[in-house]
Structure 1
Amino acid sequence: MSTSYIIKRFGRALFTVFAVTSLSFGLTRLMPGGPVDALRAQLIKRNADMSMAEINQRLATYTNIQPDDPLYVQYLNYLSSILQGDFGRSIWRDVPVMAILGDALPWTILIMTLALLLMFGVGVSLGAVLAYREGSTFDISGSIVSLVLSSTPYYVAAILFVYTLGYQLGWFPTGGRYGSGVQPGFSLTFLSSVLYHAALPVLSLAITGFGGWALTMRGNSISILGKDYLRVARLRGLSERRIAFRYVGWNALLPMYTGLMISIGMAFGGSVILEQIFSYPGVGYYLVRAIDHRDYPVMMGGFLLITLAVVVGIFIADLTYSKLDPRIESGGSDGI
């Protein structure tokens, strides 16, 4: 992989983050009744005895900008603060935004990682079996089930699970990261409580997500099963097991790799609704609460975090795909 290719991809990733940050800053500042005006109105209402200078100073603390400065100065100050890891201060909770997002991020990563691993593992395994049994009753029924589940929104499954398994049957908790009486730490009790509370959010994503991976794996495998090099491999006396894993399975998985890396980033966007349904305090949960409370610093920080997750996922896929498939010359013709 050439250095110029890495630099080019890294530059594109930085530009994407820069563009999203600039766009979100510009839209929220230029629209009538934007965050600065809304915050000023809230502060005046809550602190009627404060002077306008004190109000502006409080605004600067929350938003990292001086409201009376020209827009380009506000923008430069905002970018400078972000580069230093300072996203401002939450209006709703009156703590630094990074403290809220830093506390919530590991929990979102936990449920999204477990869900992606489960849906990808089940989907790939099922898709491979369906391809080898093409045309059978199992293939037809499995494809139909996969199609129905992949067409079902994850939040529909989440609502059904939390209502039936949570409220009606009481088998699973309906909120929280772990039990109220459990002390956090590296103990079996704490870990089991964490997994118990994460079970329904993870299942909601996995059950509605594995069908798409299964259908993709099935289609890729069927297209590879007809290739000439498989007949050559059998003539060479290679075992069917080795052919299935080394030739069919690996080549069918390669086109899905980029989609998996993008899904890792996009999962953060999906956490917004999921965590709200299960009252699971992750990034998405706090982002919705920030919207309800018009907490613009937390909203801006959450949006930027989701953008970073998507960009990093795509960037890693770009850099590692050629390592998995040596036939791809990533440093050659880029085409863009």
Structure 2
Amino acid sequence: MVNYYVRRTARVFVTIFGVMSLTFGLIRLLPGGPFTQLRTQLLRQGVPPEQVNQQIANLQNVRPDAPLWQQYIDYMISALQLDLGTSIKYSRPVAEIVAEAAPWTILIVVVSTILMFAVGILLGAIQAYWEGSRFDTIASSLSIVGMSIPFYVAAILLVLFMSYRWGLFPPGGTANPNIQDHWSLEYAVSVVRYATLPVLSYTIVGIGGQALAMRGNSIQVLGEDFVEVARLRGLSDGRIATRYVARNAILPMYTGFLLLLGFRLGGTVILEQIFNYSGLGLYLLDAVNSNDYPLMMGTFLVITVALVLGVYVADLTYGKIDPRISSGDSSETY
């Protein structure tokens, strides 16, 4: 048991170290390199040539005239201290920008994923219980159609109809800018209204996949011997459905839930651009378009580390709900 957790924890640190190294290397493989572009921008702004290297060192926490290995060490030390440099475009610390943007992205990702799984699991369980019925056929068909629609297409359609044509929700932004009190109920309501369309864009296209997965898992569990034994013992259908079928059918979907949270953090780049939603994705796209290398590296690093931590949490908690995983051997049966 202890070795299992030690291995998983060590793997997280190795992976994060690899991600940080990859981020450092990829940025420097870009055409012209980050220092060439940044040096040109500073010279155009009138910075004296003798001060350019110092300005670059202040922005990126590395000395451009130092050897590559020294730049790598400086970058790793600064990143471990949560010092991600200073944004070129916004002239603010990258860590401060990420701290402001992350809650908005986390809001739409977490809420949409929870809604998607909740509705999908409920729908899939009902389909399995009424397998072969007209409801099952219609729901399965709609699920397949929903899975085939990209989330950005759903987002554009929602903006077109629910914002511009019907005026039900604002087309973009994170909250009403005219409300100054961010702790008021009015501000909270505006946050919900502005987040509704991004959340729906992610939720609608994902329900079908989860419903079909839950349906397949439930049908498989319904054929197990322990379900037949429960019926022979005279247990009610409701107890069998909730305690035996649903619990075992949801189990394989748990890891996917945590992984999807991490993957969706990276997928918000397009979604946040459509809704002009000031989250990590929008800042990452803005950094790429403006060659803001410190902000680009910082947001990419945060999004990737979030995915790694999602996998780590899934590893640690999956053993709590499935005893076969506690020892690291998922092939053990009971």
Sort the TM-score into its range (normalised by shorter chain).
over 0.9
Supply the distance in 1 between the matched residues of 2:314 and 2:272 (Cα, whole angstroms): 27
Which residue number in structure 2 is paired with residue 8 of structure 1?
A: 7
Mapped pair 1:169 → 2:152: no
Contact 2:112–2:203 (CA under 8 A) maintained in structure 1: yes
1:314 is aligned to 2:324 = no
Matches within 5 A, 1:14-53: 14-47=13-46, 50-53=47-50
**Distance (whole Å) between structure 1 residues aligned to residue 29 and residue 235 of structure 2:** 66
Task: For 1:3 and 1:136, locate their aligned partners in 2 and report how far apart those are by CA, in whole Å.
Answer: 48
The AA in structure 2 aligned to 1:15 is V
Q: Distance in 2 between matches of 1:327 and 1:71?
A: 47
Deviations 1:151-173 (A, max 9, x none): 21100000111122112222210
Alpha carbons 1:322, 1:328 under 8 Å: kept? yes
Aligned partner (choices 123, 126, 131) of residue 123 of structure 2: 126
Note the 1:108-257 alignment, pairs <5 A. Answer: 108-257=105-254
Q: Structure 1 residue 32: deviation in Å?
A: 3.9
- CA–CA distance in structure 1, aligned partners of residues 243 and 256 of structure 2: 21
Partners in 2 of 1:238 and 1:167 — Cα distance?
53
Deviations 1:254-281 (A, max 9, x none): 0000100101111101111101100010
Q: Quick check: 1:119–1:207 contact (8 Å CA) kept in 2?
A: yes
In the alignment, which residue of structure 1 is the partner of 2:96?
99
Whether the 8 Å contact between 2:151 and 2:202 is mirrored in structure 1 is yes
Taking a change above 3 Å as real, the CA distance of residues 110 and 30 of structure 1, as seen in their structure-2 partners, is closer
8 A contact 2:42–2:52 mirrored in 1: yes
Superposed displacement of residue 31, structure 1: 4.3
**Partners of 1:237 and 1:205 in 2: CA distance:** 42
Kindly state the Cα deviation for residue 331 of structure 1 after the two structures are TM-superposed: 3.9
Matched, 1:261 2:258: yes
- 1:270 and 1:114 map into 2 onto residues whose CA distance is 15
Q: Which runs of 5+ in 1 are unaligned?
A: none
Unaligned runs of 5+ in 2: none
Which is worse superposed, 86-95 or 234-243? Answer: 234-243
Give the Cα–Cα distance (whole angstroms) in 1 for the partners of residues 170 and 153 of structure 2.
Answer: 18
Aligned identity (percent) is: 52
Distance 1:170 1:64 in 2: 47
Structure 1 residue 52, shift from structure 2 partner: 2.7
RMSD: 1.4
Aligned-pair CA distance for 1:248: 0.3
CA-CA distance at 1:332 after TM superposition = 4.9
CA contact (8 A) 2:320 2:326 kept: no
Supply the distance in 2 between the matched residues of 1:333 and 1:74 (Cα, whole angstroms): 43
CA–CA separation in structure 1 for the residues paired with 2:25 and 2:185: 48
Residue 232 of structure 1, CA deviation:
0.5
Task: Provide the rounded CA distance (Å) in 2 between the counterparts of 1:188 and 1:45.
Answer: 47
Q: Which residue of 2 aligns with 1:300?
A: 297
AA at the equivalent of 1:181: N
SS of residue in 1 equivalent to 2:324: coil
Distance 1:115 1:333 in 2: 30
Change (3 A) 1:22 1:209: same
> When the two structures are superposed, what TM-score results if normalisation uses the length of structure 1?
0.96
Alignment counterpart, residue 323 of structure 1, candidates 314, 320, 330: 320
Q: How far apart are the structure 2 equivalents of 1:3 and 1:53?
A: 55
Instruction: Output one character per residue of 1:48-84: Cα deviation in whole Å (capped at 9) or x when no partner.
Output: xx33330000000111100000000000000000000
Post-superposition CA distance 1:278-300 (Å, at most 9, x none):
00101111111111111111110
Letter in 1 for 2:38: L
What is the deviation of 1:196?
0.4
Q: TM-score, normalised by structure 2?
A: 0.96
